[in-house]
Structure 1
């Protein structure tokens, strides 16, 4: 037989409202001892929350819906979802995602997510970019994760790209590197912002920021790891030139992997001849390179946790862009 709230209330000698508050985070006031006792009785009786009934009572299901804009194809998807799911579970919520693609537009996917009557909806992207939500859905999405709402209508959580590039460039300079080349990601907002941070750090160090060597990693106008790579040609030309770099900053860890191979091909040693640093901290790449790669770790899990806090808060968050810090991961490539 199914255990009900009244069964638990009778065993505990309290009201049904008190039981609901202890198990579902309601407003009923009680001591922590009473709360723990009710939870122990519920577990003993095998109580399972009737999500459908609960949803009918409160007008929403204990769910957070995520519109996944290419997110599932990203190696960092698990970090965003883990951060979001961990915080959601602590609030007795579950997370589900629906992918954007296959001919479906944003409006149709958001409408599909809304059919599940979730408590809140997030929009998460594979990489840092601008997203224009349909005007009629501006109040439907509670937070943008790893992307910005183009019209400033939704709170957006993004990596602090400029600060990260400034930090890693300063780190290279403090390690004694003065001629730093940057093989960047063309056509991406992240690449544009990282270049700004790179040049700022050079300028602050009294180096030639305006004449700094910034090169595109691929031939296409917009970076893709499937596009024709220019890394080998760039590294060969740099190392054959009159002013060989003593450090190469890479737009991401995949580019760094190619830089490693290109440097070995021309007989350069890492880090003795050329230091290499990067962004992302894609662990399967960064830790397996020889030597292991110094890189800036993206704050994906932190973005997921903060997104859950914003979505489940009693009061609406200010509609602003919040920049989250990367973390420098020091390894042996510098």
Structure 2
């Protein structure tokens, strides 16, 4: 059996001819002052000896480990999880930190999940949701969460980062109008915050341009949108095509709805965008880029939210809780 010998800070200090405090400062970002040459020398010796930071011991000294915990409200099952996690992880790595997530299942007490996260002694904790919604955090737990990602704390007691749903809708409608489209229908996502706010932006942009909407239609039969609910998309498209004022553009609540619109228009023998333009929200790249023609859509700012959340968590400065909206990004493809 090969015996693994743990290299200590004292071993490195002895080899480098400096104090243990200086070694700790070079390797762990402590307060010890030293020249760049000394810092590089210490890091070189540590690498040569195979030193690995003892995170448990460091956690005992500091009271926290170089970790950021994420309470994941359905995020792991979301196609956008990758973008939020990439934003978090990239900013964390730059600060010498790591990210871990614990899932918050429906019906599970948020306090129990936070306790599970905090037992790992993270430096900070974020709460991230798979879609834009309000989250009720008990008063006694408000101080345990540093930032909300893609959701908002119901009473505004925690800084929250959310997509600018109204602004995104205004931008895509203005884009359709600039392309010469004037008869625009909206097949929206009922019963969720994103749908409500996007509908406001939709109407605002049309009112601003002096154009009347052809209507807003729910994508599913249920009062709250779910991609598993019975779809109404095909019937809405058929009714619009047989109305006295056929649309020249259809805005869709998400890329899945847009895919159904594509299929309905194809069955009717119509061409996108020559007969009817189609635009959407989300930018699920594997879907939007593979539709024929590729779909023009508004990309959610998930990676930007992840990056900004990590910056807030690592800043270590107390801030007044606030709601910050981040802009969508228009992805122009061939459907408009």
TM-score band w.r.t. shorter chain: over 0.9
CA contact (8 A) 1:142 1:155 kept: yes
For normalisation by structure 2, the TM-score amounts to 0.96
Take 2:36 and 2:174, find their aligned partners in 1: how far apart are those partners?
Answer: 50
TM-score (norm 1): 0.96
Given that residues 214 and 247 in structure 2 are in contact (C-alpha distance below 8 angstroms), is that contact kept between their aligned partners in structure 1? no
Equivalence for 1:218: 220
Matched, 1:113 2:88: no
Q: 1:7 and 2:11 equivalent?
A: yes
Q: How does 1:16-95 map to 2 (within 5 A)?
A: 16-95=20-99
Distance 1:46 1:280 in 2: 45
SS at match of 1:63: strand
Residue pair 1:157, 1:322 contacting (<8 A) in 2 also? yes
After TM superposition, give the deviation of residue 118 of structure 1 in Å: 1.0
Q: Secondary structure at the match of 2:143?
A: coil
Distance in structure 2 (CA, Å) of the matches to 1:35 and 1:298: 42
Q: Please point out which of 214, 228, 231 is paired with 1:229.
A: 231
Residue of structure 2 equivalent to 1:269: 271
Is 1:168 matched up with 2:175? no
Aligned match of 1:284 in 274, 283, 286?
Answer: 286
Establish whether residue 298 from structure 1 lines up as the match of residue 300 from structure 2: yes
Say whether the 8 Å CA contact 1:199–1:212 is kept in structure 2. Answer: no
2:323 corresponds to which of 291, 301, 321: 321
Secondary structure of the equivalent of 1:81?
helix
Q: How far does residue 322 in structure 1 lie from its aligned partner after superposition?
A: 0.8
Task: Could you tell me which runs of 5 or more consecutive residues in structure 2 were left unpaired when the two chains were aligned.
Answer: none
Tell whether the 8 Å contact from 1:310 to 1:316 is kept in structure 2 after alignment: no
Once residues 21 and 39 of structure 1 are traced to their aligned partners in structure 2, the CA distance between those partners, rounded to angstroms, is: 11
Structure 2: distance between partners of 1:281 and 1:40 = 45
**Shift in Å, 1:102:** 5.9
CA contact (8 A) 2:221 2:231 kept: yes
User: For the aligned residues, what is the CA RMSD?
Assistant: 1.2
